């Protein structure tokens, strides 16, 4: 789960990481009021769950409360990579002498927490990682002992020459590790980690992604969830045991299993169609799940045909077919439905489906082609 | 031969008295797996499908000589069940459980490394050596003993491809799902190493998906060390970035972990990548 910068900064504060004062506004007037409280100069920053906000015009430096109001009115409602800005963070502007990067991830390769630091922090860190990877220093952490103080020191020595700064940075590196572990983050980073001309240090930006599997033990962080309209539907599906992601196409997909669901989308695209969604109804497919899945698909007005791709493993195909027939009898669906069933008791399933108006497909490719053809009519 | 499991596999089922545990114990027994023990704390002395239940894995190992275990334990209790199996000296642990936090897995994996135990999963459908043994929830009847090793990050997509392999009379030596989570035990490379030494295996099918860099690592390994033909299929070409596609590990982030990158990595080392699941068989036949 992604959280906003201001929320990540709240967590940072809890762990003693220095963050500039700031508050969140949802209207230009509120932004002006906060600006008056905090005192200029300030930065007005869009709070959306994507990177590259600055380059998209979502971050503005302001010198007066009036300017803060004006900036907020421009940024609120702005579309950044498909997301509408609904909140802005008004925060004290910091004089920047030096920008570094500090980040933690759960590293899939080493299967351990990994810390990365770089003296070349700032908005182009991804380019640094691509073009000059030697400028990013990595260290794999023993999960049982955690990051040790001398290890943090060694990393900080890669960032600065001044020992006073090194000590301050090492302290932040250790604190960020504690925060990372404590909230079950999959990623936490400070970029830029700023040194001012006076030698102060600040986490000017903050990013934390939380491991979805660990949210059950962090109800306080679950409360930070900020969902867009599209995500609401996804969460609603999740509560019904379905994994759903809306896309822009017109062919609705119902599949059991995530890998097969992705492969189905890919195949539709390969044959010239556009999938309307990713939808995994799980390993077993009870009539209830099929009903819920169909309800989601028919609420998407773009959908012109529906493609069921079910592999009957432990669940028998004839059971699945009966489930689909039962589900369809409970719903009024005017959309054409193509079904591909394979696996256990495939032939019995085909017999059941041949009594219905459903269009059966012999293979995945056949099903994809048929649903594309029908959707195009 | 085959890898990791065969006729000598003696299985303990952790969480055998639960709904999934008892159901799949029955299915595994029907397949011919030697299920020698079940474990559910507090249910010691009972029987499930004729299999004796013990309170601890340690007891199960002492009484029955179990060398492999499978977990049908809810996420909340799964992590300790993994430690318990490792502590009891189980050599191969298969974790079907889904939803275990990644930072918990980080520690469990490090622990098992020290114990010298192999872990498959979590979030895995399990492993099958057709005609010999099945440890997992895979549908036994679609498999056929043969010469192809199959390694996959998913479940039903694997079955779809296996079904084609079986229908084409190729059959499988061993097929395993390594799990859909970001932090897992055995990875593609580990399985490739085992398949390279397995005489029954003449070729390998590697089924990958978006997220992480396991496929890229496998590509480098294949180039340097793996002599048998490999065919791959990668799911998720059309997956939007930043979205978790069902599996916790299936997410494209910061432009890395894309299907296109993985396909490129494989093709650059001579691994044929199928454009759709069905094509795997054709490509494999060309290479064999």
Query: Residue ranges of the domains in chain A?
Result: 21-92, 98-222, 229-376
For A214, nearest residue in chain B (alpha carbons): B101
**Which of A16-30, A32-46, A230-244, B207-221 has the weakest average pLDDT?**
A230-244
pLDDT at A377 > cutoff 70: yes
Residue A284: what pLDDT?
Answer: 61
Interchain contact, B214 vs A108, CB within 8 Å: yes
B91, B22: one domain: yes
B22, B105: one domain: yes
- Assign domain A98-222 to its CATH architecture: 2-Layer Sandwich (3.30)
Q: What is the mean pLDDT of residues B78-101?
A: 96
Domain boundary (B120, B155, B172) is at: B120
Domain boundary (B86, B120, B154) is at: B120
Q: State the pLDDT confidence band at A152, using cuts at 50, 70 and 90.
A: very high
Q: Which structural domain, as residue segments, surrounds residue B94?
A: 10-120
B165, B283: one domain: yes
User: Whose CA is closest to B13, among B46, B188, B185?
Assistant: B46
- B221 interaction partners in chain A (CB closer than 8 Å): none
Q: State the pLDDT confidence band at A348, using cuts at 50, 70 and 90.
A: confident
Q: What is the mean pLDDT of residues A142-163?
A: 97
Say which CATH class A21-92 falls into: alpha beta
Residue A285: what pLDDT?
Answer: 61
A interface test, pick of B99, B104, B109, B160 with most A CB neighbours within 10 Å: B160
Report yes or no on B127 lying in a domain. no
Catalytic residue among A6, A99, A101, A244: A101
B98, B146: one domain: no
- DSSP state, residue A129: H
B166, B96: one domain: no
- How far, in Å, CA of A294 to CA of A277, rounded? 12
Residue A229: what pLDDT?
Answer: 76
**Min Cα separation B144/chain A (Å):** 14
Instruction: Write the pLDDT tens digit of every residue in B38-63.
Output: 999 999 999 999 999 999 999 999 99
**Which of A96-105, B212-221, B234-243, B258-267 has the weakest average pLDDT?**
B234-243
Residue A291 φ/ψ, nearest 5 degrees: -60, -50
Q: State the pLDDT confidence band at A344, using cuts at 50, 70 and 90.
A: confident
Residues B218, B192 contacting (CB under 8 angstroms): yes
Interchain contact, A364 vs B277, CB within 8 Å: yes
pLDDT at B128 > cutoff 70: yes
Report yes or no on B40 lying in a domain. yes
Number of neighbours of residue A164 by Cβ within 10 angstroms:
9
Report yes or no on B101 lying in a domain. yes
Of all helices (H) and strands (E), which one includes residue B77? Answer: helix B75-87
Residue A81: what pLDDT?
Answer: 87
Task: Say how many residues make up chain B.
Answer: 288
Q: What is the maximum alpha-carbon separation in chain B?
A: 56
Report yes or no on B113 lying in a domain. yes
More confident call, B182 vs A326: B182
Interchain contact, B238 vs A261, CB within 8 Å: no
Q: Map residue A199 onto helix, strand or coil.
A: coil
Instruction: Write the pLDDT tens digit of every residue in A207-224.
Output: 999 999 999 999 999 999
User: Whose CA is closest to B5, among B121, B135, B118?
Assistant: B135
What is the CATH classification number for the domain harbouring B34?
Answer: 3.40.50.720
Residue A38: what pLDDT?
Answer: 96
Whether A98-222 and A21-92 are alike in CATH topology: the answer is no
B180, B275: one domain: yes
More confident call, B288 vs B191: B191
Cα dihedral sign, B203-B124-B23-B43 = positive
Residues B152, B176 contacting (CB under 8 angstroms): yes
pLDDT at A83 > cutoff 80: yes
Residue A283: what pLDDT?
Answer: 63
Q: B51-58 long-range CB contacts below 8 Å, 24 or more apart?
A: B51/B13, B51/B16, B51/B25, B53/B16, B53/B17, B54/B12, B56/B84, B56/B88, B57/B12, B57/B14, B57/B81, B57/B84, B57/B85, B57/B87, B57/B88, B57/B90, B58/B84, B58/B87, B58/B88
B107, B156: one domain: no
**Min Cα separation A109/chain B (Å):** 7
Which residues, 6+ apart, have CB-to-CB distance to A133 below 8 Å?
none
B95, B147: one domain: no
B220, B250: one domain: yes
| Residue spans of beta strands (DSSP E) within chain B | 10-14, 34-39, 47-48, 51-54, 68-71, 92-95, 118-120, 126-129, 133-136, 145-152, 172-177, 203-209, 230-235, 272-273
User: Whose CA is closest to A18, among A205, A279, A224?
Assistant: A205
Average pLDDT for chain A: 93
User: Does the beta carbon of B217 lie under 8 angstroms from any beta carbon of chain A?
Assistant: yes
- Assign domain A229-376 to its CATH architecture: 3-Layer(aba) Sandwich (3.40)
- DSSP state, residue B240: P
User: Does the beta carbon of B233 lie under 8 angstroms from any beta carbon of chain A?
Assistant: yes
Number of neighbours of residue A252 by Cβ within 10 angstroms:
27
Instruction: Write the pLDDT tens digit of every residue in A250-294.
Output: 999 999 999 999 999 999 999 999 999 999 998 666 778 888 899
pLDDT > 70 fraction of chain A, expressed in percent and rounded: 99
- How far, in Å, CA of A240 to CA of A324, rounded? 17
Interchain contact, B246 vs A258, CB within 8 Å: yes
B112, B162: one domain: no
- A183 interaction partners in chain B (CB closer than 8 Å): none
Give me the number of domains chain B comprises: 2
Residue A217: what pLDDT?
Answer: 95
Place of tokens 């029954």: B200
Number of neighbours of residue A93 by Cβ within 10 angstroms:
16
B143, B281: one domain: yes
B171, B275: one domain: yes
Instruction: Write the pLDDT tens digit of every residue in A63-77.
Output: 999 999 999 999 999
- DSSP state, residue B16: T
Residue B241: what pLDDT?
Answer: 84
């Amino acid at each position: 789960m992604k959280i906003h910068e201001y929320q990540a900064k709240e967590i940072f504060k809890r762990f003693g990481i220095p963050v500039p004062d700031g508050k969140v506004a949802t209207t230009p007037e509120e932004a002006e009021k906060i600006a008056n409280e905090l005192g200029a100069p300030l930065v007005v920053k869009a709070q959306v769950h994507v990177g590259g906000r600055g380059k998209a015009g979502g971050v503005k430096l302001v010198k007066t409360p009036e300017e803060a109001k004006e900036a907020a009115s421009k940024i609120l409602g702005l579309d950044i990579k498909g997301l509408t800005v609904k909140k802005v963070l008004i925060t004290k502007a910091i004089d920047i002498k030096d920008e570094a990067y500090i980040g933690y991830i759960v590293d899939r390769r080493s299967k351990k927490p990994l810390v990365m630091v770089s003296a070349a922090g700032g908005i182009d860190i991804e380019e640094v990682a691509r073009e000059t990877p030697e400028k990013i220093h990595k260290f794999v952490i023993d999960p049982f002992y955690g990051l040790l103080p001398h290890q943090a020191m060694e990393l900080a020595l890669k960032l600065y020459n001044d020992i006073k700064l090194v000590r301050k940075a090492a302290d932040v590196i250790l604190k960020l590790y504690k925060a990372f572990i404590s909230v079950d983050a999959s990623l936490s980073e400070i970029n830029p980690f700023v040194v001012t001309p006076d030698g102060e240090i600040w986490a000017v930006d903050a990013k934390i992604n939380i491991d979805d599997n660990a949210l059950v033990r962090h109800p306080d962080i679950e409360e930070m969830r900020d969902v867009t309209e599209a995500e609401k539907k996804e969460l609603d599906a999740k509560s019904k045991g379905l994994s759903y992601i809306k896309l822009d196409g017109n062919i609705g997909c119902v599949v059991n299993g995530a890998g097969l669901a992705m492969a189905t989308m890919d195949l539709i695209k390969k044959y010239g169609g556009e999938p309307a969604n990713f939808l995994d109804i799980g390993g077993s497919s009870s009539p209830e799940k099929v009903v819920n899945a169909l309800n989601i698909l028919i609420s998407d007005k773009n959908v012109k045909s529906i493609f069921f791709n079910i592999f009957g493993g432990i669940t028998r195909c004839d059971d699945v077919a009966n489930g689909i027939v039962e589900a369809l009898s409970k719903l009024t669906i005017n959309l054409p439905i193509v079904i591909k069933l394979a696996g256990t008791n495939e032939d019995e399933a085909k017999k059941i489906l041949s009594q219905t108006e459903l269009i059966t497909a012999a293979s995945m490719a056949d099903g994809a082609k048929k649903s594309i053809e029908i959707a195009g009519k | 031969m085959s890898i990791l499991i065969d006729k000598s596999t003696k299985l303990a089922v952790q969480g055998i008295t639960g709904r999934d545990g008892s159901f799949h114990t029955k299915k595994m027994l029907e397949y011919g797996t030697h299920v020698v023990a079940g474990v559910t704390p507090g249910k010691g002395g009972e029987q499930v499908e004729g299999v004796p239940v013990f309170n601890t894995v340690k007891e199960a190992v002492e009484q029955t000589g179990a060398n492999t275990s499978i977990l049908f334990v809810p996420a909340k209790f799964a992590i300790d069940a993994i430690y318990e199996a490792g502590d009891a000296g189980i050599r191969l642990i298969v974790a079907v459980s889904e939803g275990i936090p990644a930072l918990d897995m980080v520690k469990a994996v490090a622990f098992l490394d020290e114990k010298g135990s192999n872990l498959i999963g979590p979030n895995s459908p399990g492993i099958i050596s057709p005609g010999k043994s099945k440890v997992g929830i895979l549908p036994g009847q679609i498999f056929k003993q043969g010469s192809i090793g199959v390694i996959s990050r998913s479940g039903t997509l694997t079955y779809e491809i296996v079904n084609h392999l079986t229908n084409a009379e190729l059959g499988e030596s061993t097929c395993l799902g390594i799990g859909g989570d970001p932090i897992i035990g055995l990875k593609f490379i580990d399985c490739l190493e085992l398949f390279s030494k397995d005489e029954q295996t003449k070729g390998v099918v590697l089924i990958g998906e978006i997220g992480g860099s396991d496929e890229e690592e496998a590509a480098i390994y294949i180039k340097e060390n793996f002599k048998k033909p490999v065919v791959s299929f990668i799911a998720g070409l059309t997956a939007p970035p930043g979205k978790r596609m069902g599996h916790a590990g299936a997410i494209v982030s910061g432009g890395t972990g894309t299907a296109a990158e993985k396909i490129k990595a494989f093709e650059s080392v001579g691994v044929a990548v199928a454009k759709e699941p069905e094509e795997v068989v054709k490509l494999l036949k060309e290479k064999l």
